[in-house]
Amino acid sequence: MEKILVTSALTYANGKLHIGHVAGSYLNADIFVRYQKLIGNDVIYIGGTDDYGTPISLKAEEEGVAPRIIAERYNKSIKKDLQGLNIQLDNFSGTSRPRHIKISQDFFTNLLEAGYVTKKTLKQLYDKKYKRFLADRYIEGICPYCKSDGARGDQCDNCGKLIDAINLIEPKSKISGETPIIKETTHWYLNLPKFENELREWLKIKTYWKDNVRNFIFSWLNEGLKERAITRDLDWGVPIPLENTKGKVLYVWFDAPIGYISSTQEWAENKGQPDLWKDYWLNPNTKLIHFLGKDNIPFHTIIWPSMLMKQKYPYVLPYDVPANEFLNLEGQKMSTSHNWTVWVEDYLKYFNGELLRYVLAANAPETKDSDFCWKDFQAKINNELNNILGNLANRTFIFAQKCFNGKISKPEVLSEQSQQTLNEACKIADYIGGSYNNYQVRKASRLAMDIARIGNKYFDETQPWFEVKKSKKIAEETLYVCTELLRIISIVYSPIIPKGMKKLRKMINLPGKISWKDLDKKQIKFEISEVSQLFKKIEDKEIEKQLELLKATQTVEEKIMEHG
RNA sequence: GGCGGCGUAGCUCAGCCGGUUAGAGCAUCGGAAUCAUAAUCCGAGUGUCCGGGGUUCGAGUCCCUGCGCCGCUACCA
């Protein structure tokens, strides 16, 4: 039995959960975890929200509330939306909880004492009205190179050149609209260059990592690692544990991954075994697997391992970082600021969470960006879940009830065709297991649907509706094989659509608790209980409605932009 | 600017280390069947594999180049 610790990237607590988060790091993790549980591994699934940082603090100011209120609000909202999608984390914490502060400070102290943190003084732009230093994204001005207006503090959109915010002509704070002043400040830097050799050595054996992840890492390494600031001037964050450093907090990317540990500690405490977290984090045999979107790759493959290496506790380092690419929406890049996304909360008002799980699994951005379209959503639900899988169950069970009172037994001898059909399904089931293990959710989903396709083909070819008039036995054999296929499907599809498969198993009177090993245990007798539709079709109207809603929110947004 | 990625049927995508007539699903067309959620099954077709050049007996696959899109570029989180 393997010990596996799975995490999903902490979600930033300044907004609700949207389908990009789900496709990027939650659904794939949940499916992986469910599979690992099926094959009997000891796996826990940890996550939470990233509660600190400027955007949350600004939002709090806007609303006139404490930043903690904002963070807690979205922590709750995200947790609820995840539940709505049946994404089952063992613990969902937040980085503003007390436990997290202590351990983050320890991380800082240990790195400092080990000589991997340096202190530097630098000049930054400062907004006097809002009394805060400005990150590059909050500064606008005239580009010093092409003189065009509207250049950001980090880059000019017009000429594409990188800019040092201090060189902007006529800089303006995006928060207050006023001209910022240049002010000196002190920050602590993580000395990444010092980790280079150790990192290279460690990464050498990670040949099994996904290509997109490896490419990213080596582009950083080959460019040469640079020191990176790990503190900021802000009230809302983990205070740094040094004398006379009021107003200095850890920069969010530094303390965010530590949230995986503090969340695990919270989980252990809630279980009444406060030291249980050590069984995972301090165990060299634990497979630590971080699921995340590609934007998070450098943090988890370069910075986070570096941080872990120099702690007093012998933390386990990431075993794998299966990063996903991005999900686009209707052919366009998703954008929360332009409201071009689908919020899970809104989705759940109209549709079942299972359906989204299915579609996002079948079209996950595993190796490159993929696209979510509502029409495709409808097509996948109707054609695949309903017509192929749902109808196979329906036609088999209804037939069984009409002609056999719902009771189906395995014939003493199976025809060659029946045997081949079952063998093929078992072979596919093996491939599916391998696919889940390699984070290939799209492939797993396609293969599982293939079993249903095989079932329909077999049903047609053996013509039980015709045979039943001559020999009930021959018809029964078909129903037996199809039910057995559905039993297999109910196992192999359960990581992706757990509720639907539970419903399917209930119709066949199979136990709700399943194990991957059940695949080999051929069922001799089936008793079909009450038959109902597995899934419901989606009408054109429902999709049109979603497209209208999408357009409407965007129009509102554009109007706001037009009116400044 | 630098680094990296992508561009394959109407649509969404698969094509591992280069190897016979380039694939799947959906959509389209024709047929079969009628147990079933008008659900299924069989058959058919379609592609200058972004353009151009090169390596090779042989390239969607490797190399160079052009075009287009995208990401990263370390103070977005």
Per-residue pLDDT of chain A (564 residues; tens, 9 = 90+): 999 999 999 999 999 999 999 998 999 999 999 999 999 999 999 999 999 988 899 899 999 999 999 999 999 999 999 999 999 999 999 999 999 999 999 999 999 999 999 999 988 888 888 888 888 878 888 877 777 777 777 777 666 677 778 888 888 888 888 888 888 999 999 999 999 889 988 888 887 888 778 878 877 887 788 899 999 999 899 999 999 998 999 998 899 999 999 999 999 999 999 999 999 999 999 999 999 988 888 899 999 999 999 999 999 999 999 988 888 888 788 888 778 889 999 999 999 999 999 999 988 888 888 888 888 899 899 999 999 999 999 999 999 999 999 999 999 999 999 999 999 999 899 989 999 998 989 889 989 999 999 999 999 999 999 999 998 999 999 999 999 999 999 999 999 999 999 999 999 999 999 999 999 998 999 999 889 999 999 998 999 899 888 877 665 544 443 332
Tell me the nt nearest to A325, Cα to C1'.
B71
| Residue A558 pLDDT | 47
What is the rounded distance in angstroms from the CA atom of residue A324 to the CA atom of residue A213? 9
Phi, psi of A47 (to 5 degrees): -165, -165
| Residue A113 pLDDT | 96
CA-to-C1' span, A490 to B3 (A)? 46
Regarding pTM above 0.90, the answer is yes
Which amino acid residue lies closest to nucleotide B34, measuring CA to C1'? A465
Tell me the nt nearest to A384, Cα to C1'.
B25
What is the rounded distance in angstroms from the CA atom of residue A309 to the CA atom of residue A299? 14
CB A173 within 8 A of CB A124: no
Tell me the nt nearest to A366, Cα to C1'.
B13
What is the rounded distance in angstroms from the CA atom of residue A195 to the CA atom of residue A197? 6
Considering only residues 405-444 of chain A, list those whose CB is below 7 Å from strand B: 442
What is the rounded distance in angstroms from the CA atom of residue A419 to the CA atom of residue A421? 5
Domains of chain A: 3-95+256-347 (3.40.50.620), 114-250 (2.170.220.10), 378-527 (1.10.730.10)
Considering only residues 69-128 of chain A, list those whose CB is below 7 Å from strand B: 122, 124
Tokens 């499916």 correspond to A31
Phi, psi of A248 (to 5 degrees): -100, 125
Considering only residues 45-74 of chain A, list those whose CB is below 7 Å from strand B: 50, 52-55
> Chain B: nucleotides under 7 Å from a protein CB?
1, 3-6, 11-15, 25-27, 33-37, 39-42, 70-77
Considering only residues 286-315 of chain A, list those whose CB is below 7 Å from strand B: 294-296, 298-299, 302
CA-to-C1' span, A35 to B76 (A)? 34
The separation between CA A224 and the C-alpha centre of its own chain, rounded to angstroms, equals: 30
CA-to-C1' span, A243 to B11 (A)? 62
Tell me the nt nearest to A155, Cα to C1'.
B73
What is the rounded distance in angstroms from the CA atom of residue A293 to the CA atom of residue A553? 25
CA-to-C1' span, A210 to B61 (A)? 19
- The sign one gets for the Cα dihedral A92, A286, A261, A226 is negative
Tell me the nt nearest to A387, Cα to C1'.
B39
Nearest to A9 by CA among A47, A52, A54: A47
Reported ipTM: 0.89
- In this structure, the number of other CB atoms found within 10 A of the CB of residue A106 comes to 15
CA-CA-CA-CA torsion for A202, A204, A205, A209, nearest 10 degrees?
100
| Residue A556 pLDDT | 53
Considering only residues 526-555 of chain A, list those whose CB is below 7 Å from strand B: 533-537
CA-to-C1' span, A326 to B76 (A)? 16
CA-to-C1' span, A218 to B2 (A)? 15
> H-helix or E-strand containing A553?
helix A540-562
| Residue A560 pLDDT | 40
Amino acid in position A217? I
The token pair that represents A458 in the structure block: 């077999």
**3-state SS class at A253:** helix
| Residue A564 pLDDT | 26
| DSSP notation for A446-472 | HHHHHHHHHHHHHHHHH-HHHHHHH-H
Mark out the alpha helices in A315-370 (DSSP H runs).
Answer: 344-350, 353-362
CA-to-C1' span, A302 to B68 (A)? 33
A306 CB-contact burial (10 Å; exposed 0-12 / middle 13-18 / buried 19+): buried
What is the rounded distance in angstroms from the CA atom of residue A408 to the CA atom of residue A472? 11
CA-to-C1' span, A167 to B2 (A)? 21
Tell me the nt nearest to A124, Cα to C1'.
B75
Tell me the nt nearest to A50, Cα to C1'.
B77
Tell me the nt nearest to A133, Cα to C1'.
B75
State how far the alpha carbon of A529 is from the alpha carbons of A397, A407, A477, in Å.
9, 9, 19
CA-to-C1' span, A367 to B58 (A)? 29
| Residue A555 pLDDT | 56
Q: Is the CB of A367 under 7 A from strand B?
A: yes
| Residue A142 pLDDT | 84
Tell me the nt nearest to A13, Cα to C1'.
B77
Considering only residues 176-235 of chain A, list those whose CB is below 7 Å from strand B: 187, 192, 215, 219-220, 222-226, 228-229
What is the rounded distance in angstroms from the CA atom of residue A285 to the CA atom of residue A523? 37
